[in-house]
Structure 1
Amino acid sequence: MKIAGHDITPAELRRRTGDTSSVAGIRQVVLDNGVERGVRAIELRTAAGLEIDLLVDRALDIGDARFKGVPFGWRSGNGYRHPGLHEHSDEGGLSWLRALDGLLVTGGLDHTLFGGEVDATRYNYPPKQTVSHGLHGRVTAIPARLLEAAEIWSGESAVLRVKGEVIQATAFGEHLRLTRTYEVDFDGHELRIHDVVDNLGFEPTPHMFLYHLNFGWPYVDEGTEFVAPITKHLWQSDSVAEQGASYRLLPAPARGFVEQVTEHELVAGSDGLHRVALLSADGESGVEVSWDASTMPNFFEWQNLRDGQYAVGLEPSSHHVGGDGASREDGSMTFLEHGESREYRTTIRILQGSAETAAVRSAIRAIGPQPD
């Protein structure tokens, strides 16, 4: 393993410390103030300087994210609200925005994107003819059941692994399970996410899934470059034409900026992965996100560039921007039968130095072009 500039074996490391958690490890904590009070969290720290906070009571999403003390995850100001404070149906279904905070906010499990009312007669419960969805669904406000939080040592290496499950269920409705696993190498600077969603119920159940991956300052700043292999823009919010901010080179924060959202059609690499990156203006730092294109073929770029909210969201998605109703109409909705599942694999990698950022830019450019 590479630790503090030294190549060292686990045996030699143990000779030099009574507890390897002095170098890297896992710690379980409970947040205890304000709207976060009572929220369980798990801190992952690697010897390379990657620090990830996992929010057990918020669907095992990702909260704070730092590398060598520098944040790359976005903080909105909402705080990591206890799920008991969540207001699913308020504000016309937009109250999800009050829970939007941290590096990863998951959308799903039966609905993502903007809300609405859809048919529910498949559940065969006469009083429930329809179901109403809010923005990005219910899962983010459901606590996880922690299954594992452990260091896994094997030969000359080790990984830190956290695993949990989230059940989204109601009588006479969906009964879906998200089994979520995170892994980081003991001395690594990338985070691997493995999610499996399966149907525990006995009716065919709609399933949609989205990662709202939110990156903030200083990884997002004036001149930050968004790099992706894009064939065309499938959809853009009206604000793109009205404001004209570049989707490729980010401007500075602006007072009253209206969010810009673009659905990009990406080209997958020969390995079956989609790859995108955010690269700093000086090329000295960046972050690359890659994921399985077969289960998340769609992708949105969210630009929230207003003062006090400055962020870019990179959003792999199982479905297009129209959401539940549109997916049912065009036949693209996923319906899971009893025992059927969908699997999602994603990697978030921190880039260090101009050589790494240049290599990632070249690798993405080799996959496909990128429109101006």
Structure 2
Amino acid sequence: MATKNTPPTAELRRRTGDLAAFAGIQEVVLKNGREEGVRALLMRNAVGLELEVLIDRAFDLGSARFRGTPFGWRSGNGFRHPGLHEADAEDGLSWLRALDGLLVTGGLDHALFGGEYDATHYAYPPKQTVRHGLHGRLTAIPARLLRVEEDWQEEGGSLRVVGEVIQATSFGEHLRLTRTIELDLFGTSVRVHDVVDNLGFEPTPHMFLYHLNIGHPYVDEGTQFVAAITRHEWASDSTSQQGVAYDVLSAPIDGFVEQVWEHALVAGPDGRHRVALHAADGARGVEVTWDAATQPFFFEWQNLRSGQYGIGLEPSSNHVTGEAAARDDGTLTWLAHGERREYDLTIRILDGDDEVRDSLTAIRALGDQPTGS
């Protein structure tokens, strides 16, 4: 007879002939409209965490739910097939037509706003410069699926998928992203581990940004943005004109102009940055942590416009001023042949008052934050 100390998996095995009834990974192909032909992986664990991994969209994260409630933001663009993407269109802003879902990654050789940059390091005379659009080319590159693993253990286990994305051109960059996405079978966290390496033989610029997007109802009027902030490094012009503070969100506003903040954060003893969104009533939230050494910069993107309502939490390898400034001041990362950078991101759902309070306590142990604007 099972007892109260019986491991969760053992309890489930007694109650079903197939553990896929409770958790697992399914490979699907989206089959309608703009998404026609996009391969995806549906990951769902035994406590109600569900995640869509878009294989053909750079292994980024699409829809996300916890116990049926969405927390990943949806823009209305849909998960467009990469064949529809025009990287150089609209003066470099066509990336906005691909922006949708929980995670859209910027990189691999460029992130942030675009421009034209020296390319003579590639030693190809017809290509003296290279032009980049907003947040680079990565999001419209299909991945190669490497592994799908369902690791059921008697006292836990995990769901894990691994994909590889190659961004390359003749006489230019040849970069590889290897991404691992993992859910605990009985947990409320999503873990993303990325390795970027240079397969080419020329030194190559490298920038990397997580555009992590949280939507309603985890974002709503009164939602609090919580972090240990020493100062505001930068803010867009709109932040002084619309009367919406960075730390407490408003309801949706017709015609709202996006507000972007760069916050200087305090890292914890574990070397990680930690930020959170807490619901006004303290009943739910989302907490995000990442390696402060590889992504020391952080942006808060407030898109509170009606019909677009959401918040972007954006760890970055570079300051908001972007590639031109990084080239000028010598902070741009250049990867030699075989050189690599590693990144990791953890997204945790806060389920109930106790977890929200614990999150606030952990962040406040690192430091306070300025009030209001």
Q: What TM-score range do you get, normalising by the shorter chain?
A: over 0.9
Q: CA deviation at 1:9?
A: 4.4
Moved more, 254-263 or 151-160: 151-160
Q: What secondary structure sits across from 1:135 in the alignment?
A: coil
1:219 corresponding residue in structure 2: 218
Cα distance in 2 for residues equivalent to 1:48 and 1:155: 16
Deviation of 1:369 after TM superposition, in Å, equals 1.4
Question: 2:132 is matched with which residue?
Answer: 133
Shift, 1:243, TM fit: 1.2
C-alpha offsets along residues 227-247 of structure 1, whole Å, 9 cap, x if unaligned?
A: 000001111000001113110
Q: CA deviation at 1:188?
A: 1.3
Show CA shifts across 1:51-87 (max 9, x none): 0000000000000000000000000000000000001
Query: Which residue of the partner structure matches residue 262 of structure 1?
Result: 261
**Secondary structure, counterpart of 1:243 in structure 2:** coil
Structure 1 residues 1-372: aligned runs within 5 Å: 8-372=7-371
Secondary structure of 1:137 counterpart = coil
Alpha-carbon separation, structure 2, partners of 1:362 and 1:103? 26
Secondary structure of the structure 1 residue equivalent to 2:139: helix
- More off after superposition, 146-155 vs 160-169: 146-155
Q: How far is the alpha carbon of 1:18 from its aligned partner?
A: 1.4
Say whether the 8 Å CA contact 2:233–2:264 is kept in structure 1: yes
Query: Once the 2 structures are TM-superposed, how far is the Cα of residue 12 of structure 1 from its aligned partner?
Result: 4.2
- Deviation (angstroms), 1:325: 1.1
Length-normalised TM-score, structure 1: 0.97
Paired with 1:7 and 1:240, the residues of 2 have a C-alpha distance of 54
Residues 253-283 of structure 1: CA deviation (Å, up to 9, x unaligned): 0010000000000000011000000000000
Q: How many angstroms apart in 2 are the aligned matches of 1:6 and 1:39?
A: 43
Deviation at 1:213, TM superposition (A): 0.3
Identical positions, percent: 68
For residues 347 and 150 of structure 1, the distance between their equivalents in structure 2, rounded to whole angstroms, comes to 19
For 2:6 and 2:325, the matched residues in 1 are separated by 54
Superposed CA RMSD in Å reads 1.1
SS of the aligned residue for 1:167 comes to: strand
Partners of 2:185 and 2:6 in 1: CA distance: 13
The residue identity in structure 1 corresponding to 2:348 is: R
Give the Cα separation in 2 of the matches to 1:207 and 1:326. Answer: 14
Deviations 1:136-172 (A, max 9, x none): 0000000000001110234532110000000000000
Of 147-156 and 110-119, deviating more is: 147-156
For residue 143 of structure 2, what is the amino acid of its counterpart? A
Per-residue deviation, residues 171-198 of structure 1 (Å, max 9, x unmatched) = 0000000000011111111001100000
C-alpha separation in 1, matches of 2:348 and 2:6: 21
SS of corresponding position for 1:320: coil
Please give the secondary structure, in 2, of the residue aligned with 1:362. helix
2 CA distance for matches of 1:311 and 1:157? 33
The number of residues matched between the two structures is: 368
- TM-score normalised by L of structure 2: 0.97
Structure 2 residues without counterparts, runs of 5 or longer: none
Unaligned runs of 5+ in 1: none
Which segment is superposed worse, 321-330 or 125-134? 321-330
Letter in 2 for 1:53: E
